[in-house]
Structure 1
Amino acid sequence: MKYLLKAERVLGGRKGEVIKNGAVLVDGESIMSVGSADVVGAHIDPNVKVIDFGERTLMPGMIDCHVHLGFDGSADPVTRMKKSTDEQLLVLMLYNARLLLRSGVTTAREMGARSFLDLVVKEAIEEGTAVGPNLLVSNRPITSTGGHCWFMGCECDDTVAVKRAVRDHVKAGADFIKIMHTGGFMTKGSAPWYNQFDRKELETATYESHRLDKKIAVHAHGAVGIKDAVDVGVDTIEHCSWVTSSGYDYSEEAAEKIVEKGIHICLTTNVGWGRMSGQWLEERLQNISRMKALGMKFIAGTDAGINLVPHDKYVGGLEALRMVGLSNEEIIESATIVAAEACGIDQTVGTLAPGMRADIIAVDGDPLSNISDLWNVDWVMRAGTVPDFAQL
């Protein structure tokens, strides 16, 4: 189907790309033309469906670079996952995928699921038998025996096991690899500041991922683990908290290497950051401010599904990026084109331009002036298809 979408402002996805009284022409799954409404709409086919969004904003669909569809966002999502059958988890994951799309998230990186269920959800969305964002899946996160998220089912304890896990995931259809290099906050007996793998094991996972033409995302809270991830040359670092058993140990030297190597950082800011306070938050924000001053590339990702972070609160994570000093333009980039670059899909999504996939959202307001207006997404197009919000 062909659409001519018109609005008071069209955001291209990059800084400065704002078209007043703009329009987007869509044919099937692709964007054909973007520009002023007068030019784009001058010679359209009479069969084109015209939608005038008036004072709204049209912009690229947003990207959440860190979600867990199998967590329910309750106060204790781990317990529910452990008690659930695979069939029950699948129902939950399909439900959460709909919530993401309803929030304006048209692409998401699934950062760890049980029993390869993320592949089932991805395939169902692509076939049109389920509704949700375009998914990039990692299958089960690679962890150590009893390590963070061990209950998702991929425990490894040496380089041979790590190498086999990477190969198994790529064979199954993983879009990228996720490894838990340090412990985490949600797994009993797991300390976020301790490494779960030695340097050689992480190096093996990174080498094998890249050999198979896959990016690798590394969960790293601890300062030592972050330095390892930087040294072996991973693609994205998740959380990047710089924590130790007694506080923080931010390394300017390691941070500079992150910038030099072009590693993207997913801080996993989310709606929960608005509930934080005290010295822990203050020091975390100070460290992030130092990282930003170096020119670090931040990508939007919320860790959706973890404790009290439901999948329909994506914009809370963008609001939290204001806390760390990003401008509204920078936040929109982190949620669109910069996120797409980190995921290796910037030739397909992340901007509104001819030839790009038609992932487009309409926002009641102007997010360049007020990032919170992104709560007011009232129309979504994913790959040229408009879901019925009444069903979402």
Structure 2
Amino acid sequence: MQFHEGQQIWIEDGIIKNIGKGFDKPGREVIDLQRMLVLPGWIDAHLHLTLTGEADPISQWQQDGVVITAIKAVTYLKKHLQAGVTVLRDLGGDCDIVLELKKAQKAGLVEGPEIYTSGKALTMTGGHIYQISKEVDGPDIARKGAREELKKGVDLLKVIATGGILTQGVKPGSPQLNEDEIRAIVEEAHKAKRRVSAHVEGKEGIMNALRAGVDTLEHGIGLDLEAVEMIKNKSVVLIPTLAAPRLILRHREELPIEMVKKAEEVVEEHKHSFALAYKKGCKIAVGTDAGTPFNHHGKYYIELAEMLADGMKIEEVLQVASLNGAVALGIDDRCGNIEVGKIANLTIIDDCLDDREWYRNVRMVMYYGKLIRII
């Protein structure tokens, strides 16, 4: 990522028309952003709009019902925008609510980032997050489940390739959907020009997902050199969601002992997997996993802080928060960097990258050329 001083950005109809100098002609609105840093709009490639971030978010969702869940999701959308996020990817929850929310956001009825949604995740019977997912068993049923979700108008599909921390009685590293089941889902998604993300927290599930042809890996716990090389060769994007298990451990006194133990079991392997992927040059994007326990919406900066703490440089973090996120979503042809012809999605922070907590200083956000002032 390169930085340029004293530049002007000419925006018209929500699109960047030119970058340079001398665009401040009479009659044109000029926004003075001196002493600020103008960045490409941040992208959150993994969150859950219909989960609350409370200690037991799935039970809370069941208790709240449709109306309360929808109202909460509207407030979360605004929080994400104010945190600097201009595009987000919802990866599992109440599919109908998120699809309707997407329509409302696109129509300008609610304020928030642009939404991409997987609808319901596809999991095996009794698999990870089965309560908010579609249970499928065998390639034929998996294929039918994929078609049913695609019929609803989702932007991508999500498969559960392994167990996870949140689901009681399920081991994080255990393989779940088989390779042939995942492949059937991938075939249907790719026929429809849609992408597939895979929840993976174990080596066997990772390899099943990669061989089946998924486009992004979520969490990526259990990576080794073989998996990393395949990730690179297949141009798969890793969304590590570093903060999620760490936040569970920071609130261990308020959570079930089983969940805490599972987080303890994976946290070091998670850190090692991220370090290996980073060192070997895998493409990495930012996903907060917001909505999971004590992982509250609108706290995008926490994931950036974890990446910095684990060795990423500031310039690299800025790229994984923007361009790499656009690549993960397959929208880098129209956003992800500040370039002529791209959408005018911008995150504007204080010009203070030498400040240890620069990522918390979001001052304005521009969404499709519309400026939202945070302060």
- Residues 269, 318 of structure 1: 8 Å contact kept: no
TM-score normalized by structure 2? 0.91
**Aligned partners of 1:269, 1:291: CA distance in 2, in Å?**
13
- Alignment of 1:253 onto 2:238: no
Partner of 2:235: 262
Residue from 75, 78, 82 that aligns with 2:62: 82
The letter of the residue matching 2:333 is: Q
**Aligned partners of 2:366, 2:82: CA distance in 1, in Å?**
10
Residue from 298, 313, 320 that aligns with 2:299: 313
After superposition, residues 41-56 of structure 1 pair within 5 angstroms as 42-56=22-36
After TM superposition, the structure 1 stretch with the greater mean CA deviation from structure 2, 102-111 or 279-288, is 279-288
- Residues 78, 186 of structure 1: 8 Å contact kept: no
Compared CA separation, residues 253 and 310, structure 1 to 2 (3 A) = same
**Aligned partners of 2:274, 2:344: CA distance in 1, in Å?**
33
- Alignment of 1:34 onto 2:14: no
Residue from 302, 307, 317 that aligns with 1:331: 317
Per-residue CA deviation, residues 229-274 of structure 1 (Å, 9 max, x unaligned), is: 12222100000111xxxxxxx4311221111111110001237637
- Residues 64, 335 of structure 1: 8 Å contact kept: yes
Residue from 366, 369, 373 that aligns with 1:384: 369
**Aligned partners of 1:271, 1:182: CA distance in 2, in Å?**
16
**Aligned partners of 2:151, 2:265: CA distance in 1, in Å?**
45
The letter of the residue matching 1:64 is: D
Aligned to 2:7, the other structure's residue is in SS state strand
Aligned to 1:363, the other structure's residue is in SS state strand
Residue from 3, 13, 20 that aligns with 2:5: 20
- Alignment of 1:165 onto 2:145: yes
Partner of 1:6: none
After superposition, residues 1-392 of structure 1 pair within 5 angstroms as 15=1, 17-35=2-20, 39=21, 42-242=22-222, 250-270=223-243, 273=246, 281-367=267-353, 369-370=354-355, 372-387=357-372, 389=374
Aligned to 2:30, the other structure's residue is in SS state strand
**Aligned partners of 1:151, 1:310: CA distance in 2, in Å?**
20
**Aligned partners of 1:167, 1:365: CA distance in 2, in Å?**
47
**Aligned partners of 1:301, 1:272: CA distance in 2, in Å?**
13
The letter of the residue matching 1:131 is: E
Deviation at 1:324, TM superposition (A): 2.6
Compared CA separation, residues 236 and 370, structure 1 to 2 (3 A) = farther
Deviation at 1:47, TM superposition (A): 2.5
- Residues 285, 323 of structure 1: 8 Å contact kept: no
Compared CA separation, residues 212 and 302, structure 1 to 2 (3 A) = same
- Residues 70, 92 of structure 1: 8 Å contact kept: yes
Partner of 1:9: none
**Aligned partners of 2:347, 2:365: CA distance in 1, in Å?**
5
TM-score normalized by structure 1? 0.87
Deviation at 1:21, TM superposition (A): 1.8
Count of residue pairs brought into register by the alignment? 362
Aligned to 1:85, the other structure's residue is in SS state helix
- Residues 364, 373 of structure 2: 8 Å contact kept: no
- Residues 92, 133 of structure 2: 8 Å contact kept: no
- Residues 61, 336 of structure 1: 8 Å contact kept: yes
Compared CA separation, residues 66 and 282, structure 1 to 2 (3 A) = same
